[in-house]
Amino acid sequence: KVDALHLSVFETVLSESWSQGTETTVDATLASRYLERFADHAVSIAKKMMYLSTGEWNPSNH
């Protein structure tokens, strides 16, 4: 879902209806990128925690 949100931000700032300036555009896209990376790290941590708590490793999730 975060990946879809990240894509949505790019679609929004690239649309003709986007009337914000360069600084706001850069801020919006960078914030979106950082949120997407944060979410990726959270998923990675959760997978490692599942392994630590269950001892089971599912390679299809990686």
pLDDT tens column, 10-53? 999 999 999 999 999 999 999 999 999 999 999 999 999 999 99
Whether pTM > 0.85 for this model: the answer is: no
**Where in the sequence is the domain holding 8, given as residue range(s)?**
2-56
In angstroms, the CA 7 to CA 11 distance is: 6
For 20, residues 6+ apart whose C-beta sits below 8 A from its C-beta are: 13, 28
Is 17 inside any structural domain?
Answer: yes
For 6, residues 6+ apart whose C-beta sits below 8 A from its C-beta are: 32, 33, 35, 36
Query: What is the number of domains present in the chain?
Result: 1
3-state SS, residue 16: coil
Is 30 inside any structural domain?
Answer: yes
Is 62 inside any structural domain?
Answer: no
Is 6 inside any structural domain?
Answer: yes
